[in-house]
Amino acid sequence: MDAEKQAVREALKSVEDPELPVSIVDLGIVENIDCGPEHIQVVLTPTFSGCPALEHIRKLVIGVLEEQFPGKRAEVGWSFTSSWTSQKISSDGETALKTYGIALAADGVVHCPYCGSKHIVRDSPFGSSLCKEIYYCKHCKNPFEKMKHLA
Amino acid sequence: MQENTVLIDFVNQWAEDEFWVGHLLTKKIYEYGPDLEENIAIGSISQDEIGHCRMLLNLHTTGEKQIDHLIYGKPPEQIKVSRLAEYWYEYDWARLVMKQLIYDICDGVRLSFGGEIPDSGLQDVLRLMKREEAVHLEHWMEWALLISEDSQGQSLLQKAAGQIYPLISDFFADPLIERVSAEYGLNSVSAKLLLKQCLDELNPRLIQLGLSIPCPEQEMIGNLSVQGGRYGLHSSGFMPLYNEFTLVYRQNPDMVWG
């Protein structure tokens, strides 16, 4: 990756997903970055097709890039050619989510983010946002959310 | 997506179905479900359906205003939403569950049909839709099973099925199915075949719920010749809903959200 693309990627680490405590880079939705003399084009993959935050994220990205790369026009496109999965979340992202009480289970096994127990049940496939589902820990008696993983 | 008017018509009509289903779910999210978690689930499912509408329209449009016009700006006689998608329920949990269950099974058959159309952009969108719709179907079937556990619940589901099941014929009584099939050489596919596939998927589920099949297959096939939603002929619930969700756009078509 050339230096400018890397710089753009670093800048995008300051853009947090509005519904999760992780950056859009750690969430794994940055699909492509293209830099030209006068523009920066970023292609993002939505986590779910109906995500209500798409327009908000687009504005955040444009704001950050046009501030950090003055003189360049930032463009954001949404791609539906590849499917986002929770396996695209980085290890930093996984740690941040766990600290926040959101499990990931990228390895297929769900652990309670509070006590680490595997003695859990899924309460609902729908959580407080489209990308999460609700679980309950029978060990520590806490409900918690897990990032949804659709194959 | 290919600049093919038949395919664009098919995609637009599909998007209309998804929008109407999603819109109806959003109307009273706080009242429909029996518990808070279910209201959250309904909110998520409605967002998914409206997201599917947007993805389908994105295939051949170039911006928000064009999408707004296709959903909010069409005169009512040009809207080809199925009577199943526009089926309206006042607060009635069993009817909502039955409507969603039947719609998702019809939509699953349409997804399989759409999967045969050789258009890479459409296939990308359908792949995303399919994985989300699978979760919806599982969800509504779980609720139907729960409601059917006692005789009162079964009675409510049977009554709902009696009203909604006949609308499946209207869903597939669609001249675009034949036109798309001819356009892409899918000559073995017909409205009758898709209807039969749908009933083959749905009927065993109704039996599993302890329900009787509301209409015999031959009657359902015979009703494919009745013109309805796909011809712009809608139910009595259509105009109030149309007037409701197009109100803002009709007053100010240039308005931009946010």
A85-124 residue pLDDT tens: 888 999 999 999 999 999 987 677 899 999 999 999 998 8
Domains of chain A, each with CATH number or no CATH: 3-78 (3.30.300.130), 101-147 (no CATH)
Residue A126 sits at the vertex; the CA angle it makes with A121 and A127, to the nearest 5 degrees, is 90
**Any A CB within 8 A of B62 CB:** no
Give the H/E segment covering residue A141.
none
3-class DSSP state for residue A145? strand
3-class DSSP state for residue B71? helix
Q: B58 and A80: CB-CB below 8 Å?
A: yes
- Classified by CATH at the fold level, domain B5-251 comes out as Ferritin (1.20.1260)
Q: B258 and A52: CB-CB below 8 Å?
A: no
Low-confidence ranges of chain B (pLDDT < 70): 257-258
Measure B58 CA to nearest chain A CA, in Å.
10
3-class DSSP state for residue B108? helix
**Any A CB within 8 A of B127 CB:** yes
3-class DSSP state for residue A76? strand
Burial B169-203 (b: 16+ CB within 10 A, else e): bbbbbbebbeebbebbebeebebeebbbbbbeebe
Burial A99-126 (b: 16+ CB within 10 A, else e): eeebbbbeeeebbbbbeeeeebeeebbb
**Any A CB within 8 A of B63 CB:** no
Angle between helices B93-114 and B120-147 (to 10 degrees): 150
How confident is the model at residue A1, as a pLDDT? 57
Asked whether B43 and A130 are in contact (CB, 8 A), the reply is no
Q: pTM, whole model, 2 decimals?
A: 0.91
Q: Please give the C-alpha separations between residue A11 and each of A45, B160, B220, in angstroms, as whole numbers.
A: 18, 54, 58
In chain B, which residues have their Cβ closer than 8 Å to the Cβ of A123? 37
Measure A122 CA to nearest chain B CA, in Å.
12
Q: Which residues lie across from A144 on neighbouring strands?
A: A135
CA-wise closest residue to B52 among B26, B24, B22:
B22
Q: A49 and B54: CB-CB below 8 Å?
A: yes
Q: A80 and B41: CB-CB below 8 Å?
A: no
**Any A CB within 8 A of B144 CB:** no
pLDDT in tens, A30-87: 999 999 999 999 999 999 888 888 889 999 999 999 999 999 999 999 888 878 888 8
How confident is the model at residue A49, as a pLDDT? 85
Measure A36 CA to nearest chain B CA, in Å.
23
Kindly tell me if the per-residue pLDDT of A27 is higher than 70.
Answer: yes
Partner residue facing A151 (CB), from B50, B131, B257: B131
- Per DSSP, A42 falls in state E
Closest Cα in chain B to A151:
B131
Chain A residue set in contact with B, beta carbons under 8 Å: 46, 48-52, 55-56, 59, 80-81, 83, 123-130, 134, 150-151
Average pLDDT, chain A: 91
Asked whether B98 and B160 are in contact (CB, 8 A), the reply is yes
How confident is the model at residue B201, as a pLDDT? 98
In chain B, which residues have their Cβ closer than 8 Å to the Cβ of A125? 41, 135, 138-139
- CA B134, B136, B142, B147 dihedral sign is negative
Give the H/E segment covering residue A30.
strand A30-35
